[in-house]
Amino acid sequence: MQLVDTHAHLDEDAFSTDVEDVVARARDAGVVTILTIGITAETSRSALALAERFDNVYAVVGIQPNYASQVQSGDWETIVELAAHPRVVGIGETGLDRYWDYAPIDVQQEYFDRHLDLSRQIGKPFVVHCRDAEADVVAQLRRAAKQGPLNGVMHSFCGDDETAAACLEMGMHISFAGMLTFKKNDSLRATAATIPADRLLVETDAPYLAPVPNRGKRNEPANVVHTARCLAEVRGVELAEIAQVTTDNARRLFRLPVA
């Protein structure tokens, strides 16, 4: 059985002393590929460095919406330069966040559009962060979709059926993280059961959002198996089927080599 963790932050301080062990545990757990995600120009550089260090790690580079107001001169140019690297397989994470008040929404929207444009220009998929901003994200994606089908993923999806349906209609993939396993999230599990199999992805968002039975602990890519198992249960299929489907989808979307 093989799995792909499509969203982790291996450059975080939480992994500073044992990232090699973390990657090794993931491999032992069947996680054949990890995508490590940038949230600033600096962390995007770190993501690429990790992708060059480990043969089963690839990078996604971008400026997360909460950091959009902190962009310095030359930062966006750095993202554009990094995006062309062959070990970089996606753009982001980008999107909108109305939960935290770290960046004005108009600044977030400007950088969201920049990421969408860059994704289209270089033919690499984009990764969307959305928190308490579902309607805004869908509206902005719909504007972008007027230029053609979208090639991206709703990361750590926690929206409702309506949001999922809108994103699917525009060609998006839906990725589920550890929140799918949380006891209170019956409605999210119900939504997960309805997503077409060819649009499903799994992730950890490590070191955050550790799934049950590790909730409250540091998360790491090996734990993606717990989310995949939960996804299999709510869809009434075997874990091996979910692993195969989500791995095939990740490889197709991000153009990953077969491990």
Q: How far is CA 93 from CA 40, 89, 119, 160, 242, in A?
A: 9, 12, 11, 21, 24
CA–CA distance, 99 with 257 (Å, rounded to integer)? 36
pLDDT tens per residue across span 22-48 = 999 999 999 999 999 999 999 999 999
CA–CA distance, 36 with 6 (Å, rounded to integer)? 8
CA–CA distance, 176 with 189 (Å, rounded to integer)? 10
Statement: residue 9 has pLDDT above 90: yes
CA–CA distance, 120 with 97 (Å, rounded to integer)? 22
pLDDT tens per residue across span 75-101 = 999 999 999 999 999 999 999 999 998
pLDDT tens per residue across span 119-137 = 999 999 999 999 999 999 9
Which whole number is the average pLDDT over 170-178? 98
DSSP sequence for 163-232: HHHHHHHTT-EEEE-GGGGSTT-HHHHHHHTTS-GGGEEE---BTS-PPTTSTTSPP-GGGHHHHHHHHH
pLDDT tens per residue across span 44-77 = 999 999 999 999 999 999 999 999 999 999 999 9
Tokens of 63: 């400026």
Statement: residue 148 has pLDDT above 90: no
- Domains annotated for the chain, with CATH where assigned, are 3-254 (3.20.20.140)
155: pLDDT confidence band, cut at 50, 70 and 90? very high
The secondary structure of residue 66, as a DSSP letter, is G
Q: What is the pLDDT of residue 149?
A: 86
Q: What is the pLDDT of residue 138?
A: 98
Mean pLDDT of the chain: 97
CA–CA distance, 245 with 239 (Å, rounded to integer)? 10
